Amino acid sequence: MKALILVADGFEDLTLFVPWYRLREEDVAVTLAAPLLHAVGGTHGYVVEPDAVIHEVNPSDFDVLLIPDGLAAERLRLREEAVDVARTFVEDGMKVAAIGHGLQVLISAGALDGRRVTCAPGIRDDVRAAGAIYSDEATVLDNTLLTGRGPDDLPAFAQALMAHLGTPRKARVKNGNAPRS
C-alpha cells in the first residue's frame, strides 16, 4: 500500500507526524510531496525533507491521499498542481483523508459538494459554502472521504484511518476494558 501526503511550510506538526508514522508502523510506503524539493517546517518547528515535488506526482501510483492540518493548506491551495492532485483523488473515487484546515485544499478543488465532513471549527462556514454537510465531530467518514477535526482528535482519526485503509478494528492490545463497539 502507498500513501501520498501533501506538505508545505506551516504544516501542523502532530497532524503530519502522527498519521505519517502510523502508516509507516503498518509498513505503508509514504511519499511526502511538497511544492518544491526543499525542506519544509511545521508551525511547531519540526522540519521534513519532501520525497517528491507535487507537479511530478501521479495520483494513480497511490492508494490514499492525506492532507494535514495547518497554515500549509493555504499555501497548497494556491498551487494549481496541489489542487489538481486533490481533485483527481476525489473525482476518481480514491481514498482521501484530510484534517483540520487540510479541507481548504478540497474546497479549492471543488470536491466537497454534498459530502459529509468535519474540519477545523474556524473554516466550517467555508466548507458549508462549498456545499458540504458539516458536523462537529472528531472524525467523519463519507464513503471514500475521511475527515478529522484537528490535533486533539488524532487518536480517533488514527483509528478511523486504519479502518478506512482496511484494517480490522479490534482490540489489538489485550485490554481489560470492553472494546468499543
Q: Applying CB under 8 A, does 18 fall inside the site for a copy of itself?
A: yes
Query: Which residue stretch of 50-58, 96-104, 140-148, 152-160 sits at the interface with a copy of itself (rule: CB under 8 A)?
Result: 152-160
Neighbours of 146 (CB within 10 A): 24
Long-range contacts of 125-129 (CB under 8 A, 24+ apart): 127/103
Q: Would you count residue 181 as binding a copy of itself (CB under 8 A)?
A: no
> Does position 25 bind a copy of itself by CB under 8 A?
yes
CA nearest to 68, candidates 135, 120, 108: 120
24 binds a copy of itself (CB under 8 A): yes
Question: Would you say the C-alpha torsion 82, 83, 85, 90 has a positive or negative sign?
Answer: positive
Q: Does residue 164 have an active-site annotation?
A: no
128 DSSP assignment: H
Q: Which of 31, 88, 135, 159 binds a copy of itself (CB under 8 A)?
A: 159
48 lines the binding site for a copy of itself (CB under 8 A): no
> Which H or E run includes 64?
strand 64-67
User: Contact between 22 and a copy of itself (CB under 8 A)?
Assistant: yes
Cell representation of residue 168? 480490522
Q: How far is the CB of 98 from a copy of itself (least distance, A)?
A: 18
Identify the residue among 36, 37, 46, 131 touching a copy of itself (CB under 8 A): 46
Closer by beta carbon to a copy of itself, 25 or else 125: 25
Q: Looking at 51-59, 105-113, 120-128, 151-159, which segment touches a copy of itself (CB under 8 A)?
A: 151-159
Residue 158, CA distances (Å) to 18, 135, 143, 148 in order: 8, 18, 17, 9
Q: Among residues 56, 114, 180, 181, which is the contact residue for a copy of itself, using CB under 8 A? A: 180
Place of cell 508502523: 25
Catalytic residues: 101
